[in-house]
Structure 1
Amino acid sequence: MFRIANDAQFWDRAARKYAADPIADMAGYERTLERTRHYLKGDETAFEFGCGTGTTALRLAPSVGRIVATDLSSEMIAIAREKAKAEGPGNATFEVARPEAAPWPDGSFDIAFGFNVLHLVAEREAALRGVHRLLRPGGLFISKTPCLKEMNPLLRIALPLMQLVGKAPYVAFLSAEDLEREISAAGFEIIERARHASRGKDARPFVVARK
Protein backbone atom coordinates (compact mmCIF):
# COMPACT_ATOMS: atom_id res chain seq x y z
CA MET A 1 0.00 0.00 0.00
CA PHE A 2 2.92 2.35 0.68
CA ARG A 3 4.09 2.02 -2.94
CA ILE A 4 0.55 2.55 -4.26
CA ALA A 5 0.15 5.68 -2.13
CA ASN A 6 3.51 7.01 -3.32
CA ASP A 7 2.61 6.39 -6.95
CA ALA A 8 -0.77 8.09 -6.49
CA GLN A 9 0.98 11.13 -5.06
CA PHE A 10 3.48 11.15 -7.94
CA TRP A 11 0.70 11.11 -10.55
CA ASP A 12 -1.29 13.73 -8.64
CA ARG A 13 1.73 16.07 -8.89
CA ALA A 14 2.34 15.22 -12.55
CA ALA A 15 -1.29 15.32 -13.71
CA ARG A 16 -1.51 18.86 -15.10
CA LYS A 17 1.76 18.54 -17.01
CA TYR A 18 0.75 15.09 -18.23
CA ALA A 19 -2.55 16.49 -19.51
CA ALA A 20 -0.71 19.16 -21.50
CA ASP A 21 1.84 16.82 -23.12
CA PRO A 22 1.05 15.84 -26.74
CA ILE A 23 0.78 12.20 -27.79
CA ALA A 24 4.20 11.27 -29.16
CA ASP A 25 3.03 8.99 -31.99
CA MET A 26 -0.43 10.16 -32.98
CA ALA A 27 -0.62 7.89 -36.03
CA GLY A 28 0.21 4.86 -33.89
CA TYR A 29 -2.34 5.96 -31.31
CA GLU A 30 -5.03 6.26 -33.98
CA ARG A 31 -4.19 2.75 -35.23
CA THR A 32 -4.69 1.42 -31.71
CA LEU A 33 -8.05 3.15 -31.40
CA GLU A 34 -9.14 1.87 -34.81
CA ARG A 35 -8.21 -1.71 -33.97
CA THR A 36 -9.89 -1.47 -30.57
CA ARG A 37 -13.11 -0.25 -32.18
CA HIS A 38 -13.02 -3.36 -34.37
CA TYR A 39 -13.96 -5.35 -31.25
CA LEU A 40 -16.79 -3.04 -30.19
CA LYS A 41 -20.45 -3.45 -31.17
CA GLY A 42 -21.73 -0.21 -29.65
CA ASP A 43 -23.69 -1.54 -26.68
CA GLU A 44 -20.91 -2.74 -24.36
CA THR A 45 -20.43 -1.76 -20.76
CA ALA A 46 -16.70 -0.98 -20.69
CA PHE A 47 -14.13 -0.55 -17.95
CA GLU A 48 -10.76 1.18 -18.20
CA PHE A 49 -8.05 1.26 -15.57
CA GLY A 50 -5.12 3.65 -15.58
CA CYS A 51 -7.19 6.05 -17.65
CA GLY A 52 -5.04 9.07 -16.81
CA THR A 53 -6.82 12.27 -17.84
CA GLY A 54 -9.47 10.41 -19.81
CA THR A 55 -8.38 11.05 -23.40
CA THR A 56 -8.75 7.46 -24.60
CA ALA A 57 -11.94 6.79 -22.64
CA LEU A 58 -13.58 9.82 -24.22
CA ARG A 59 -12.39 8.79 -27.70
CA LEU A 60 -13.84 5.28 -27.26
CA ALA A 61 -17.02 6.32 -25.45
CA PRO A 62 -19.07 6.88 -28.65
CA SER A 63 -18.33 3.25 -29.64
CA VAL A 64 -19.73 1.64 -26.45
CA GLY A 65 -22.93 1.85 -24.47
CA ARG A 66 -21.22 3.05 -21.30
CA ILE A 67 -17.66 3.34 -20.05
CA VAL A 68 -16.40 3.55 -16.47
CA ALA A 69 -12.81 4.81 -16.50
CA THR A 70 -10.61 4.67 -13.40
CA ASP A 71 -7.22 5.76 -12.14
CA LEU A 72 -5.41 5.69 -8.80
CA SER A 73 -4.71 9.44 -9.08
CA SER A 74 -7.52 11.69 -7.87
CA GLU A 75 -6.01 14.64 -9.74
CA MET A 76 -5.99 12.69 -13.02
CA ILE A 77 -9.64 11.83 -12.45
CA ALA A 78 -10.46 15.47 -11.66
CA ILE A 79 -9.01 16.51 -15.03
CA ALA A 80 -10.84 13.67 -16.81
CA ARG A 81 -14.12 14.84 -15.30
CA GLU A 82 -13.42 18.39 -16.45
CA LYS A 83 -12.83 17.12 -19.98
CA ALA A 84 -15.93 14.92 -19.89
CA LYS A 85 -18.07 17.85 -18.79
CA ALA A 86 -16.67 20.03 -21.57
CA GLU A 87 -16.55 17.58 -24.45
CA GLY A 88 -17.80 14.15 -23.39
CA PRO A 89 -20.61 12.25 -25.12
CA GLY A 90 -22.35 11.74 -21.77
CA ASN A 91 -21.84 7.99 -21.31
CA ALA A 92 -18.39 8.16 -19.66
CA THR A 93 -17.90 8.30 -15.90
CA PHE A 94 -14.60 8.62 -14.06
CA GLU A 95 -13.76 7.15 -10.66
CA VAL A 96 -10.71 6.81 -8.41
CA ALA A 97 -10.22 3.04 -8.22
CA ARG A 98 -7.84 0.17 -8.92
CA PRO A 99 -8.95 -3.08 -10.58
CA GLU A 100 -7.81 -5.25 -7.66
CA ALA A 101 -9.94 -3.20 -5.27
CA ALA A 102 -12.79 -2.15 -7.56
CA PRO A 103 -16.23 -1.93 -5.93
CA TRP A 104 -18.23 -3.39 -8.84
CA PRO A 105 -19.62 -6.96 -8.73
CA ASP A 106 -18.13 -9.88 -10.64
CA GLY A 107 -18.96 -9.85 -14.34
CA SER A 108 -20.05 -6.22 -14.42
CA PHE A 109 -18.35 -5.39 -17.73
CA ASP A 110 -18.26 -6.70 -21.28
CA ILE A 111 -14.85 -5.29 -22.12
CA ALA A 112 -11.86 -3.83 -20.26
CA PHE A 113 -9.08 -1.52 -21.43
CA GLY A 114 -5.62 -0.99 -20.00
CA PHE A 115 -3.55 1.32 -22.22
CA ASN A 116 0.03 2.31 -21.33
CA VAL A 117 -0.46 1.29 -17.71
CA LEU A 118 0.55 -2.31 -16.92
CA HIS A 119 4.25 -1.45 -16.70
CA LEU A 120 3.34 1.13 -14.03
CA VAL A 121 1.42 -1.34 -11.83
CA ALA A 122 3.50 -2.87 -9.03
CA GLU A 123 0.81 -5.42 -8.13
CA ARG A 124 0.16 -6.58 -11.70
CA GLU A 125 -0.89 -10.10 -10.74
CA ALA A 126 -3.61 -8.75 -8.44
CA ALA A 127 -4.63 -6.08 -10.96
CA LEU A 128 -4.99 -8.60 -13.78
CA ARG A 129 -7.00 -10.93 -11.55
CA GLY A 130 -9.19 -7.94 -10.72
CA VAL A 131 -9.79 -7.21 -14.40
CA HIS A 132 -10.60 -10.90 -14.95
CA ARG A 133 -13.13 -10.81 -12.09
CA LEU A 134 -14.85 -7.70 -13.43
CA LEU A 135 -15.39 -9.18 -16.90
CA ARG A 136 -18.30 -11.38 -17.83
CA PRO A 137 -17.45 -14.84 -19.28
CA GLY A 138 -16.14 -14.30 -22.81
CA GLY A 139 -15.38 -10.64 -22.11
CA LEU A 140 -12.33 -9.02 -23.68
CA PHE A 141 -9.31 -7.30 -22.16
CA ILE A 142 -7.52 -4.99 -24.59
CA SER A 143 -4.16 -3.51 -23.64
CA LYS A 144 -1.11 -1.74 -25.02
CA THR A 145 2.00 -1.73 -22.84
CA PRO A 146 5.49 -0.22 -23.11
CA CYS A 147 7.91 -3.12 -22.66
CA LEU A 148 11.06 -1.53 -21.28
CA LYS A 149 13.20 -4.64 -21.76
CA GLU A 150 12.93 -3.88 -25.47
CA MET A 151 13.97 -0.23 -25.04
CA ASN A 152 17.26 1.53 -24.32
CA PRO A 153 19.14 -0.49 -21.66
CA LEU A 154 20.35 2.76 -20.07
CA LEU A 155 16.85 3.09 -18.66
CA ARG A 156 17.81 0.44 -16.11
CA ILE A 157 20.33 2.91 -14.70
CA ALA A 158 18.39 6.14 -15.16
CA LEU A 159 15.02 5.11 -13.75
CA PRO A 160 16.18 3.99 -10.29
CA LEU A 161 18.06 7.28 -9.93
CA MET A 162 14.96 9.24 -10.93
CA GLN A 163 12.83 7.22 -8.51
CA LEU A 164 15.31 7.94 -5.73
CA VAL A 165 14.70 11.69 -6.06
CA GLY A 166 10.95 11.40 -6.68
CA LYS A 167 11.11 12.06 -10.41
CA ALA A 168 9.65 8.71 -11.52
CA PRO A 169 6.99 6.29 -10.23
CA TYR A 170 7.27 2.51 -10.05
CA VAL A 171 8.12 1.12 -13.49
CA ALA A 172 8.52 -2.56 -14.42
CA PHE A 173 10.99 -3.83 -16.99
CA LEU A 174 8.87 -6.23 -19.03
CA SER A 175 9.31 -7.98 -22.36
CA ALA A 176 6.38 -8.85 -24.61
CA GLU A 177 6.82 -12.47 -23.52
CA ASP A 178 6.70 -11.47 -19.83
CA LEU A 179 3.56 -9.48 -20.47
CA GLU A 180 1.75 -12.27 -22.29
CA ARG A 181 2.75 -14.79 -19.64
CA GLU A 182 1.26 -12.62 -16.89
CA ILE A 183 -1.96 -11.99 -18.82
CA SER A 184 -2.35 -15.71 -19.51
CA ALA A 185 -1.63 -16.59 -15.87
CA ALA A 186 -4.55 -14.37 -14.83
CA GLY A 187 -6.89 -16.65 -16.77
CA PHE A 188 -7.03 -14.99 -20.20
CA GLU A 189 -6.63 -16.47 -23.67
CA ILE A 190 -4.66 -14.18 -25.97
CA ILE A 191 -6.41 -13.83 -29.33
CA GLU A 192 -4.47 -10.99 -31.00
CA ARG A 193 -0.99 -9.52 -30.87
CA ALA A 194 0.03 -6.46 -32.86
CA ARG A 195 2.37 -3.48 -33.00
CA HIS A 196 0.96 -0.13 -34.09
CA ALA A 197 3.86 2.35 -34.04
CA SER A 198 4.16 4.50 -37.16
CA ARG A 199 7.90 4.98 -36.85
CA GLY A 200 10.99 3.55 -35.19
CA LYS A 201 11.17 0.40 -33.10
CA ASP A 202 7.81 -0.50 -31.57
CA ALA A 203 8.20 -1.69 -27.98
CA ARG A 204 4.51 -1.27 -27.12
CA PRO A 205 2.66 -4.49 -27.95
CA PHE A 206 -1.10 -4.35 -28.42
CA VAL A 207 -2.74 -7.43 -26.92
CA VAL A 208 -6.33 -8.63 -27.03
CA ALA A 209 -7.27 -11.38 -24.57
CA ARG A 210 -10.50 -13.21 -23.82
CA LYS A 211 -11.77 -14.35 -20.42
Structure 2
Amino acid sequence: MFRTLNNARFWDRAARKYAAGSISDMAGYDRTLERTRDYLKDTDVAFEFGCGTGTTALRLAPSVAQIAATDISSEMIAIAREKVAVEGVSNVSFDVATPDDLPWPDETYNAALGFNVLHLLDEREAALKSVHRILKPGGLFISKTPCLNEMSSIVRFGVPVMQLFGKAPYVAFFSAEELEREVAAAGFEIIERGRHGSGRKDPRLFLVARKR
Protein backbone atom coordinates (compact mmCIF):
# COMPACT_ATOMS: atom_id res chain seq x y z
CA MET A 1 0.00 0.00 0.00
CA PHE A 2 2.86 2.41 0.83
CA ARG A 3 4.35 1.92 -2.63
CA THR A 4 0.93 2.42 -4.24
CA LEU A 5 0.51 5.72 -2.40
CA ASN A 6 3.96 6.85 -3.56
CA ASN A 7 3.07 5.92 -7.13
CA ALA A 8 -0.18 7.86 -6.88
CA ARG A 9 1.70 10.93 -5.66
CA PHE A 10 4.20 10.59 -8.51
CA TRP A 11 1.42 10.48 -11.14
CA ASP A 12 -0.46 13.32 -9.45
CA ARG A 13 2.64 15.50 -9.87
CA ALA A 14 3.17 14.35 -13.46
CA ALA A 15 -0.46 14.49 -14.60
CA ARG A 16 -0.58 17.88 -16.33
CA LYS A 17 2.73 17.37 -18.11
CA TYR A 18 1.63 13.86 -19.10
CA ALA A 19 -1.63 15.23 -20.49
CA ALA A 20 0.23 17.81 -22.57
CA GLY A 21 2.49 15.18 -24.15
CA SER A 22 1.85 13.29 -27.37
CA ILE A 23 1.66 9.57 -28.13
CA SER A 24 5.07 8.54 -29.43
CA ASP A 25 3.81 5.87 -31.84
CA MET A 26 0.37 6.94 -33.01
CA ALA A 27 0.19 4.33 -35.76
CA GLY A 28 0.90 1.56 -33.27
CA TYR A 29 -1.62 3.03 -30.84
CA ASP A 30 -4.27 3.15 -33.55
CA ARG A 31 -3.59 -0.49 -34.47
CA THR A 32 -4.11 -1.48 -30.85
CA LEU A 33 -7.41 0.40 -30.68
CA GLU A 34 -8.57 -1.12 -33.96
CA ARG A 35 -7.77 -4.66 -32.81
CA THR A 36 -9.44 -4.00 -29.45
CA ARG A 37 -12.60 -2.77 -31.15
CA ASP A 38 -12.75 -6.04 -33.07
CA TYR A 39 -13.41 -7.82 -29.76
CA LEU A 40 -15.93 -5.36 -28.32
CA LYS A 41 -19.70 -5.33 -28.83
CA ASP A 42 -22.01 -2.36 -28.60
CA THR A 43 -23.86 -4.17 -25.78
CA ASP A 44 -20.72 -4.69 -23.68
CA VAL A 45 -20.13 -3.12 -20.30
CA ALA A 46 -16.35 -2.56 -20.13
CA PHE A 47 -13.82 -1.55 -17.52
CA GLU A 48 -10.39 0.03 -17.88
CA PHE A 49 -7.77 0.31 -15.13
CA GLY A 50 -4.75 2.60 -15.32
CA CYS A 51 -6.75 4.87 -17.62
CA GLY A 52 -4.50 7.90 -17.12
CA THR A 53 -6.15 11.01 -18.54
CA GLY A 54 -8.89 9.00 -20.26
CA THR A 55 -7.83 9.19 -23.89
CA THR A 56 -8.23 5.47 -24.62
CA ALA A 57 -11.52 5.11 -22.75
CA LEU A 58 -12.98 8.01 -24.73
CA ARG A 59 -11.71 6.58 -28.01
CA LEU A 60 -13.29 3.20 -27.27
CA ALA A 61 -16.55 4.53 -25.80
CA PRO A 62 -18.46 4.40 -29.12
CA SER A 63 -17.76 0.65 -29.33
CA VAL A 64 -19.46 -0.32 -26.04
CA ALA A 65 -22.63 0.39 -24.08
CA GLN A 66 -20.76 1.66 -21.02
CA ILE A 67 -17.17 1.94 -19.83
CA ALA A 68 -15.97 2.55 -16.28
CA ALA A 69 -12.37 3.73 -16.13
CA THR A 70 -10.12 4.05 -13.10
CA ASP A 71 -6.66 5.25 -12.12
CA ILE A 72 -4.75 5.52 -8.85
CA SER A 73 -4.06 9.21 -9.55
CA SER A 74 -6.78 11.69 -8.60
CA GLU A 75 -5.14 14.32 -10.82
CA MET A 76 -5.27 12.02 -13.85
CA ILE A 77 -8.94 11.36 -13.14
CA ALA A 78 -9.62 15.09 -12.80
CA ILE A 79 -8.18 15.66 -16.29
CA ALA A 80 -10.18 12.73 -17.68
CA ARG A 81 -13.38 14.23 -16.27
CA GLU A 82 -12.51 17.57 -17.86
CA LYS A 83 -12.28 15.78 -21.22
CA VAL A 84 -15.68 14.17 -20.70
CA ALA A 85 -17.21 17.56 -20.00
CA VAL A 86 -15.67 19.05 -23.14
CA GLU A 87 -16.47 16.14 -25.44
CA GLY A 88 -19.94 15.46 -24.03
CA VAL A 89 -19.48 11.69 -23.87
CA SER A 90 -22.26 10.13 -21.79
CA ASN A 91 -21.29 6.47 -21.48
CA VAL A 92 -17.92 6.84 -19.72
CA SER A 93 -17.28 7.31 -16.00
CA PHE A 94 -13.93 8.02 -14.33
CA ASP A 95 -13.06 7.17 -10.72
CA VAL A 96 -10.03 6.75 -8.48
CA ALA A 97 -9.38 3.08 -7.60
CA THR A 98 -6.52 0.62 -7.27
CA PRO A 99 -6.70 -2.41 -9.59
CA ASP A 100 -5.89 -4.89 -6.82
CA ASP A 101 -8.98 -3.85 -4.82
CA LEU A 102 -11.75 -3.08 -7.30
CA PRO A 103 -15.07 -1.95 -5.79
CA TRP A 104 -17.45 -3.91 -8.04
CA PRO A 105 -19.28 -7.20 -7.47
CA ASP A 106 -18.18 -10.44 -9.08
CA GLU A 107 -18.95 -10.95 -12.77
CA THR A 108 -19.89 -7.33 -13.53
CA TYR A 109 -18.11 -6.68 -16.84
CA ASN A 110 -17.90 -8.20 -20.30
CA ALA A 111 -14.43 -6.79 -20.97
CA ALA A 112 -11.52 -5.44 -18.93
CA LEU A 113 -8.81 -3.25 -20.46
CA GLY A 114 -5.33 -2.44 -19.19
CA PHE A 115 -3.00 -0.56 -21.52
CA ASN A 116 0.59 0.36 -20.60
CA VAL A 117 -0.06 -0.25 -16.92
CA LEU A 118 0.80 -3.81 -15.83
CA HIS A 119 4.51 -3.01 -15.56
CA LEU A 120 3.65 -0.16 -13.17
CA LEU A 121 1.80 -2.32 -10.65
CA ASP A 122 3.59 -3.52 -7.52
CA GLU A 123 0.62 -5.82 -6.77
CA ARG A 124 0.30 -7.25 -10.28
CA GLU A 125 -0.80 -10.75 -9.22
CA ALA A 126 -3.56 -9.34 -7.00
CA ALA A 127 -4.64 -6.97 -9.77
CA LEU A 128 -4.96 -9.78 -12.31
CA LYS A 129 -7.04 -11.82 -9.86
CA SER A 130 -9.24 -8.80 -9.18
CA VAL A 131 -9.78 -8.27 -12.91
CA HIS A 132 -10.62 -11.96 -13.29
CA ARG A 133 -13.17 -11.68 -10.46
CA ILE A 134 -15.16 -8.80 -11.94
CA LEU A 135 -15.34 -10.32 -15.44
CA LYS A 136 -18.36 -12.34 -16.47
CA PRO A 137 -17.75 -15.98 -17.51
CA GLY A 138 -16.00 -15.92 -20.86
CA GLY A 139 -15.22 -12.20 -20.46
CA LEU A 140 -12.15 -10.74 -22.14
CA PHE A 141 -9.07 -9.09 -20.68
CA ILE A 142 -7.29 -7.00 -23.31
CA SER A 143 -3.93 -5.44 -22.53
CA LYS A 144 -0.75 -4.00 -23.97
CA THR A 145 2.32 -3.94 -21.77
CA PRO A 146 5.96 -2.86 -22.19
CA CYS A 147 8.10 -5.88 -21.32
CA LEU A 148 11.12 -4.02 -20.05
CA ASN A 149 13.43 -7.02 -20.05
CA GLU A 150 13.32 -6.73 -23.84
CA MET A 151 14.48 -3.12 -23.78
CA SER A 152 18.01 -1.78 -23.84
CA SER A 153 20.38 -1.94 -20.88
CA ILE A 154 20.14 1.87 -20.67
CA VAL A 155 16.52 1.51 -19.57
CA ARG A 156 17.22 -1.39 -17.21
CA PHE A 157 19.99 0.48 -15.42
CA GLY A 158 18.63 4.01 -15.83
CA VAL A 159 15.21 3.50 -14.23
CA PRO A 160 16.53 2.61 -10.75
CA VAL A 161 18.74 5.70 -10.78
CA MET A 162 15.76 7.88 -11.75
CA GLN A 163 13.71 6.31 -8.95
CA LEU A 164 16.35 7.31 -6.40
CA PHE A 165 15.76 10.95 -7.33
CA GLY A 166 11.97 10.68 -7.55
CA LYS A 167 11.99 10.93 -11.34
CA ALA A 168 10.33 7.56 -12.00
CA PRO A 169 7.59 5.51 -10.32
CA TYR A 170 7.75 1.84 -9.42
CA VAL A 171 8.48 -0.21 -12.57
CA ALA A 172 8.59 -4.00 -12.88
CA PHE A 173 10.96 -5.78 -15.25
CA PHE A 174 9.72 -8.97 -16.88
CA SER A 175 9.71 -10.74 -20.24
CA ALA A 176 6.72 -11.41 -22.50
CA GLU A 177 6.86 -15.09 -21.53
CA GLU A 178 6.78 -14.24 -17.83
CA LEU A 179 3.81 -11.93 -18.29
CA GLU A 180 1.89 -14.54 -20.25
CA ARG A 181 2.47 -17.06 -17.47
CA GLU A 182 1.14 -14.60 -14.89
CA VAL A 183 -1.99 -13.89 -16.94
CA ALA A 184 -2.62 -17.62 -17.42
CA ALA A 185 -2.05 -18.30 -13.70
CA ALA A 186 -4.72 -15.71 -12.85
CA GLY A 187 -7.31 -17.86 -14.67
CA PHE A 188 -7.17 -16.67 -18.26
CA GLU A 189 -6.72 -18.42 -21.59
CA ILE A 190 -4.65 -16.32 -23.99
CA ILE A 191 -6.35 -16.24 -27.39
CA GLU A 192 -4.28 -13.59 -29.17
CA ARG A 193 -0.85 -12.08 -28.82
CA GLY A 194 0.70 -9.42 -31.03
CA ARG A 195 3.04 -6.47 -31.45
CA HIS A 196 1.57 -3.33 -32.98
CA GLY A 197 4.52 -0.95 -32.96
CA SER A 198 5.74 0.83 -36.08
CA GLY A 199 9.42 0.36 -35.30
CA ARG A 200 11.68 -2.57 -36.09
CA LYS A 201 11.28 -3.95 -32.57
CA ASP A 202 8.33 -3.43 -30.24
CA PRO A 203 8.66 -4.52 -26.58
CA ARG A 204 4.96 -3.82 -25.95
CA LEU A 205 3.06 -7.10 -25.88
CA PHE A 206 -0.62 -7.00 -26.89
CA LEU A 207 -2.65 -9.79 -25.30
CA VAL A 208 -6.27 -10.86 -25.51
CA ALA A 209 -7.21 -13.35 -22.81
CA ARG A 210 -10.53 -15.02 -22.02
CA LYS A 211 -11.69 -15.79 -18.49
CA ARG A 212 -11.71 -19.52 -17.89
2:179 corresponds to which letter in structure 1? L
The CA deviation at 1:88 is: 4.2
Structure 1: tracts of 5 or more residues without a match? none
Q: 1:107·1:134 contact (CA, 8 Å) conserved in 2?
A: yes
Q: 1:58·1:88 contact (CA, 8 Å) conserved in 2?
A: no
1:22-33 equivalent positions in 2, closer than 5 A: 22-33=22-33
Structure 2: tracts of 5 or more residues without a match? none
Matching of residue 169 in structure 1 with residue 146 in structure 2: no
The residue number in structure 2 matching 1:190 is 190
1:99-114 equivalent positions in 2, closer than 5 A: 99-114=99-114
2:197 corresponds to which letter in structure 1? A
Q: 1:62·1:89 contact (CA, 8 Å) conserved in 2?
A: no
Matching of residue 119 in structure 1 with residue 119 in structure 2: yes
The residue number in structure 2 matching 1:205 is 205
The CA deviation at 1:99 is: 2.2
Question: Aligned partners of 2:69, 2:159: CA distance in 1, in Å?
Answer: 28
Question: 2:131 is paired with a residue of what secondary structure?
Answer: helix
Question: Aligned partners of 1:173, 1:71: CA distance in 2, in Å?
Answer: 21
The residue number in structure 1 matching 2:53 is 53
Question: Aligned partners of 1:113, 1:12: CA distance in 2, in Å?
Answer: 22
The residue number in structure 1 matching 2:143 is 143
Give deviations 1:97-134, integer Å, cap 9, x for gaps: 12221111001100000000000001000000000001
Question: 1:99 is paired with a residue of what secondary structure?
Answer: coil
The residue number in structure 2 matching 1:5 is 5
Question: Aligned partners of 1:198, 1:183: CA distance in 2, in Å?
Answer: 25
Give deviations 1:180-202, integer Å, cap 9, x for gaps: 01100100000000110112311
Q: Runs of at least 4 residues of structure 1 off by over 3 A?
A: none
Give deviations 1:58-117, integer Å, cap 9, x for gaps: 000010000000000000000000001111421000000122211110011000000000
Which deviates more from structure 2 when the two are superposed, residues 53-62 or residues 196-205? 196-205
The residue number in structure 2 matching 1:18 is 18
| Matched-pair identity in % | 71
| TM-score (ref. length: structure 1) | 0.98
Question: Aligned partners of 2:85, 2:166: CA distance in 1, in Å?
Answer: 32
